């Protein structure tokens, strides 16, 4: 009876485990807008803050949340992008390849209203609102005025410049101050309402301290003030400012100047006479906004009358000092009476919005600039220890089965004994009937730590299940190069300046800091604690805390590459030897590189064809692939190379006017290469190409030997290729990874429109039949379909679902304990994680599984057993008392 009851309890335990399913929560996203650009912040209207960030994201922020955002992915990265307020709307000045444009946006809901002006083959350097018009200065020196209807008025061009400042005047005129390109010569242009003229100033550009309105302050031996006539543009004679000052303070008002002297702030008129003094100020920030002075000190923020120096309002910021050393910038807006709106940007890439002395909200922008990552697995305790698993590998099949059966029998006995020991505690409710079990998510391997290193020097661990921050560590270094895991327990954080920090991978606790030679690149070698470190002048060293790794006689091979060469390196102990080198010509550039993943699992060695024969894959493990772009001819070359010998085994080329400014990606899977590029001929299209490598194109024909040396002659692969068109621009690609490699391989693709999708490898198949129907044998092959050059995206392939994932520049795929499921994460601007099952979840009960009926059936069986058992015992007893007549 006891054994029957215990068996039924075990059945219920198994079924109830299904209830702690993930409840359809499979993905999460940390929405980012990027680090602030203090010159592109527009202060609230209807409680919405508009800004254009350094990652080219235009956004509206309300109560600290992103109300709306638009990411400009195709703008030229090293050019200036701007946003200004024009009437009730906002205007962006954006630079794209071969064009620039002014766009009008609704600041409340982020709707695009219209293109105000489009400029061909011109790059905008600066824009400024001037009434209902926009002043535009181009990099080539052209100056135009654009009105609200898009009408353009052109002026005389200024000379090419390095720096430019636009200063609108209240009478409708404006001044443009600039320095001549590659010189210190300073010039200005003046618009008098009808004509635009340029003039020369006899001062050097680097001597200028402030230019605002019609006021210019510069310094030689002493400080001088120049005033521009607002009607004619004529410059006054230099007005010297008498006295010695500790520091000049730039304020945005053209009738006053400010200095610090002996910890006092002195406000002077332009003739040098003292207007008033703000005494006893040590650490501070002074700004002039909306006809009022705003003074930040360590404990207060004050509104000060600009005429008398009297304090209008003062707000106590708190008991802790304002951390001026950590503040990069403060942007301010005020009504001049009782309201101060401040945006604090800190060096750790967090920023806070403060109203008077109340922090309204705070955002962390550090995750929008991730420079390195690592994955930490959370090991789950199982009944089999690592020693048990190693012992099983040494046994044959029957011995291993007997070993496992014996171990499970012992565990069943322990379960039985434990159950009866804890039964009294179960009855009182002190112990759960089903014990303390780990959640399915942990058993399934869905919980891992995504370790991200940011540009600001922070290392952050996120839970891949829900995106929650597990721990955070500030390295105090702003040059993180890479993060590597050691034995899944420790993290090595390498920095470009040299310090290597060691952290606990599970808790983020600091362990130690070591100073190493400043690295340019770090790559983990075959040992878990052995690293190849590339340093300047093309030298390299091998680092390991274990001396035996440096004295090892084993060899490993790696590939080093940059934009114009690829080198094969052989590493023996701590020696680094070059074995071969491939160099491009002066007109060529290596734009993408991919090698095989050493840890990739291969479940089968070939394809089973319709006639049950096998087409063998070419599974040589030491191949790599790289893309070379010839810039004058716009031709793309794809080379497959032997990483041991440097031999080029296959080359493909595309003479289709390949766009060099669009993303070119390449992947190397188990026996295939997949790459993508944007071509302009014959039509502008996103191409994705697959190259499959086979032992032979004849079935059942195999030449490779499992034990052959990499240096021996190898039979060349048989190559098949197909090209496809994707109806969206590709940003980045990755290969899905699973625990044993049985699940269908898929290509994870992030698109520039913010979607992330996966394409099963059988879609990108070079053997898809072209120009004829499939034969009966071909129809019986797994997912072999007729060739269609245009890939149609099924909704089920979009793994970002309804989310828009912006800037997914890096994709990561991590296997879970379920063979069917892989975790996919991305970072760049947003941080996003989800789970994909390319072959569906064949190893897990679906959400439609009828748990209620099954549990009810088991409970019914228990009741029947409890009822029938006494009846059976009674019947047996009666049979023993039969009286013979």
**What kind and span of H or E run contains 552?**
none
| Number of residues in the chain | 885
- Give the count of alpha carbons within 13 A of 351, CB side only: 26
Nearest alpha-carbon partner for 565 in 535, 537, 545, 586: 586
Dihedral sign, CA of 123, 129, 132, 137? negative
pLDDT of residue 442: 67
885 vs 878: CA distance, rounded Å: 16
- Paired tokens of 813: 């795929």
- Do 502 and 514 contact (CB within 8 A), yes or no? yes
Beta bridge partners of 164: 178
Nearest alpha-carbon partner for 823 in 732, 734, 738: 738
350 vs 367: CA distance, rounded Å: 10
- Cβ neighbour number for residue 253 with a 10 Å cutoff: 18
Whole-number Cα distances in Å, 88 to 106, 108, 762, 799: 8, 10, 53, 39
Check whether the bond before 572 is cis (ω within 30° of 0). Answer: no
For residue 864, give the 3-state DSSP assignment. Answer: helix
Beta strands in 497-622 (DSSP E): 499-504, 510-515, 521-524, 531-534, 540-543, 555-561, 565-572, 575-583, 588-595, 606-608, 614-616
Beta bridge partners of 217: 210, 225
Nearest alpha-carbon partner for 253 in 212, 198, 311: 212
pTM for the whole structure: 0.83
Q: pLDDT tens digits for 257-271?
A: 999 999 999 999 999
Beta bridge partners of 295: 286, 302
Taking 50 as the pLDDT cut, the residues of the chain under it are 12-24, 434-437
pLDDT of residue 448: 93
- Give the count of alpha carbons within 13 A of 416, CB side only: 13
- Do 287 and 253 contact (CB within 8 A), yes or no? no
336 vs 264: CA distance, rounded Å: 22
Tell the residue number behind the tokens 């200063």, with chain if given: 167
Whole-number Cα distances in Å, 192 to 189, 222, 232, 876: 10, 32, 6, 118
pLDDT of residue 135: 96
- Paired tokens of 333: 């807006």
């Amino acid at each position: 009876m006891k054994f029957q009851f215990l068996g039924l309890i075990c059945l219920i335990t198994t079924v109830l485990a299904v209830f702690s399913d993930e409840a359809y929560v499979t993905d999460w996203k940390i929405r980012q807008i990027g680090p602030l650009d203090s010159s592109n912040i527009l202060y609230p209207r209807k409680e919405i803050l508009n800004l254009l960030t350094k990652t080219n994201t235009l956004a509206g922020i309300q109560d600290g949340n992103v109300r709306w955002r638009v990411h400009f992915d195709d703008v030229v990265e090293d050019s200036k992008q701007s946003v200004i307020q024009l009437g009730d709307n906002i205007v962006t000045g954006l630079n794209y390849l071969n064009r620039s444009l002014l766009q009008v946006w609704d600041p409340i809901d982020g709707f695009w209203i219209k293109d105000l002006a489009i400029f061909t083959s011109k790059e905008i350097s600066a824009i400024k609102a001037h009434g209902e018009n926009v002043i535009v200065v181009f990099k080539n020196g052209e100056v135009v005025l654009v009105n609200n209807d898009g009408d353009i008025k052109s002026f005389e061009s200024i000379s090419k410049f390095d720096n430019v400042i636009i200063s609108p005047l209240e009478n409708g005129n404006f001044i443009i101050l600039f320095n001549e390109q590659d010189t210190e010569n300073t010039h200005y242009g003046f618009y008098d309402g009808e004509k635009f003229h340029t003039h020369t100033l006899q001062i050097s550009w680097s001597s200028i301290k402030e230019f605002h309105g019609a006021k210019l302050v510069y310094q030689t031996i002493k400080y001088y003030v120049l005033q521009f006539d607002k009607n004619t543009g004529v410059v006054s004679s230099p007005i010297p400012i008498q006295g010695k000052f500790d520091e000049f303070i730039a304020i945005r008002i053209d009738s006053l100047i400010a200095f610090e002297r002996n910890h006092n702030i002195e406000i002077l008129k332009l003739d040098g006479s003292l207007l008033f003094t703000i005494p006893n100020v040590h650490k501070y920030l002074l700004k002039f906004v909306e006809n009022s002075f705003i003074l930040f000190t360590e404990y207060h923020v004050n509104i000060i009358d600009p005429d008398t120096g009297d304090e209008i309002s003062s707000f106590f910021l708190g008991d802790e000092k304002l951390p001026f050393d950590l503040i990069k910038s403060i942007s301010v807006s005020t009504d001049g009476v009782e309201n101060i709106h401040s945006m604090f940007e800190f060096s750790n890439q967090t920023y806070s919005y403060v109203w008077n002395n109340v922090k309204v909200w705070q955002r962390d922008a550090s995750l929008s600039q991730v420079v390195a990552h690592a994955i930490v697995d959370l090991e789950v305790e199982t009944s089999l220890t690592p020693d048990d698993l190693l012992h099983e590998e040494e046994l044959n099949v029957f011995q291993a089965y007997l070993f496992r059966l014996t171990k499970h029998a012992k565990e069943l006995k322990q379960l039985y004994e434990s159950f009866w020991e804890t039964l009294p505690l179960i009855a009182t409710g002190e112990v759960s009937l089903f014990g303390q079990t780990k959640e399915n998510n942990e058993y399934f391997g869905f919980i891992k730590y995504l370790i991200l290193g940011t540009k600001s020097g922070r290392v952050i661990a996120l839970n891949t299940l829900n995106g929650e921050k597990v721990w955070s560590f500030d390295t105090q270094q702003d040059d993180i190069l890479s993060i590597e895991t050691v034995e899944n327990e420790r993290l090595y954080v390498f920095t470009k300046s040299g310090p290597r920090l060691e952290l606990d991978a599970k808790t983020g606790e600091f362990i130690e800091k070591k100073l190493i030679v400043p690295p340019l690149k770090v790559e983990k070698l075959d040992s878990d604690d052995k690293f190849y470190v590339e340093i300047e002048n093309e030298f390299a060293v091998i680092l390991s805390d274990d001396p035996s790794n440096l004295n090892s006689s084993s060899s490993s091979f790696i590939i080093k590459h940059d934009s114009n060469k690829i080198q094969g390196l052989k590493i023996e102990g701590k020696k680094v030897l070059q074995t071969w080198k491939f160099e491009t010509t002066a007109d060529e550039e290596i734009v993408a590189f991919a090698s095989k993943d050493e840890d990739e699992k291969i479940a089968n060695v070939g394809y089973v064809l319709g006639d049950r024969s096998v087409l063998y894959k070419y599974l040589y493990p030491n191949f790599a692939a790289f893309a070379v772009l010839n810039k004058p001819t716009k031709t793309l070359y794809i080379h497959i190379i032997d990483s041991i010998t440097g031999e080029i085994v296959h080359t493909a080329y595309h003479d289709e006017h390949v766009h060099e400014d669009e993303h070119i990606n390449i992947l190397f899977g188990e026996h295939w290469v997949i790459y993508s590029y944007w071509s302009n001929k014959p039509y502008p299209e996103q191409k994705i190409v697959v190259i499959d490598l086979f032992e032979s194109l004849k079935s059942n024909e195999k030449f490779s030997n499992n034990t052959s040396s990499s240096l021996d002659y190898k039979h060349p692969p048989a190559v098949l290729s197909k090209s496809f068109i994707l109806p969206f621009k590709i940003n980045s690609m990755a290969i899905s990874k699973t625990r044993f490699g049985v699940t269908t391989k898929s290509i994870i693709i992030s698109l520039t429109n913010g979607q992330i999708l996966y394409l099963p490898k059988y879609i990108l198949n070079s053997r898809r039949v072209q120009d004829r129907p499939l034969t009966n044998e071909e129809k019986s092959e797994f997912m072999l379909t007729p060739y269609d050059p245009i890939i149609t995206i099924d909704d089920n392939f979009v793994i970002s679902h309804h989310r828009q994932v912006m800037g997914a520049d890096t994709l990561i795929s991590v296997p879970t304990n379920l063979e069917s499921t892989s975790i996919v994460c991305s970072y760049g601007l947003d941080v996003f994680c989800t789970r994909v099952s390319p072959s569906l979840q064949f190893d897990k009960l679906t959400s439609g599984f009828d748990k209620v009926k099954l549990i009810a059936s088991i409970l019914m069986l228990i009741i029947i057993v409890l009822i029938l058992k006494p009846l059976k015992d009674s019947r047996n007893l009666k049979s023993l008392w039969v009286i013979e007549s």
